[in-house]
Amino acid sequence: MEKQDIHSIWDQAKPAAEYSPAQINTYRKKQYRQVKRSQGFLIIFDIIMKSIIIAALVLLAILSEQKDLQILTLSIAALSLIFLVIVANIHSSYKSINIGNSIMENIKERLLFLEGKFNTFLIFYSLTNFLLVFTGFIYYQIIKYDNIDLVAFLTDPFMYLFPIVAFAISYFSQHQVVKQQITDLTEAMHELEDMDNSKYHSYIINKQKEKQFRNRLIAISLIFFGLVFLVLILLIL
């Protein structure tokens, strides 16, 4: 039904560019590779960031003479390590995806991963931003005041505000990207099943390119406003 609705919309619209079946197939292969690379990059990047956070927390515990601060930082480091192990397991699943000779098989496997474990990964990826900002606040307090009153620090709701905002922005932006990737790959699968109507598929590809451009603008805007918000908070502290 939904596909029929899209067809009816297309009947009233003229695509900005028309692609041959070979070009459509090439575009979809390129799109698949981009999705695969973006997944791999995001997972590896998260593993690196979690490792940096753990190292920073352990270093702080070693250098600090505050017993309560040592307990806090090592506890957060242990929690981060658990998250790291989970993400490493997801990365193993990513690498173990069977890649066949058929682009259709590849897309199906990638969709299963996107809709399953990668959605779980987004939560742990966003938690990295929470931990990064929270750890940054601890370092900021120590650098500025030489020590930290943990009771006051941990009971101050303001100290949780920006980490939560960082988590929300990260999760929302990446979730939107994944939703778009699922939509694009699903449409690609339909196209490969029916390559007869190249004009219709050209219309869909052009629409997808427009959405991708808008999504990039949204992502850049979220990052920009997030950085501005961080600067304002640091100026207030």
Encode pLDDT of 63-72 as tens digits.
888 888 888 8
How far is Cα 125 from Cα 43, in angstroms, rounded to an integer?
8
The predicted structure's pLDDT at residue 6: 44
Identify the domain containing residue 159 by its residue range.
Answer: 27-236
Domain presence at residue 173: yes
pLDDT digit string, tens, across residues 110-163: 888 888 888 888 899 999 988 988 888 888 888 877 777 777 777 777 777 878
Domain presence at residue 70: yes
Domain presence at residue 198: yes
The predicted structure's pLDDT at residue 140: 81
Domain presence at residue 142: yes
Is residue 110 within 8 A of residue 185, CB to CB? The reply is: yes
Domain presence at residue 10: no
Nearest residue to 220 (alpha-carbon basis) of 209, 228, 232, 208: 228
Map residue 63 onto helix, strand or coil: helix
Domain count for the chain: 1
Domain presence at residue 20: no
Domain presence at residue 126: yes
Which of the residues in the chain have pLDDT under 70? Answer: 1-25, 28, 98-102, 191-237
Domain presence at residue 8: no
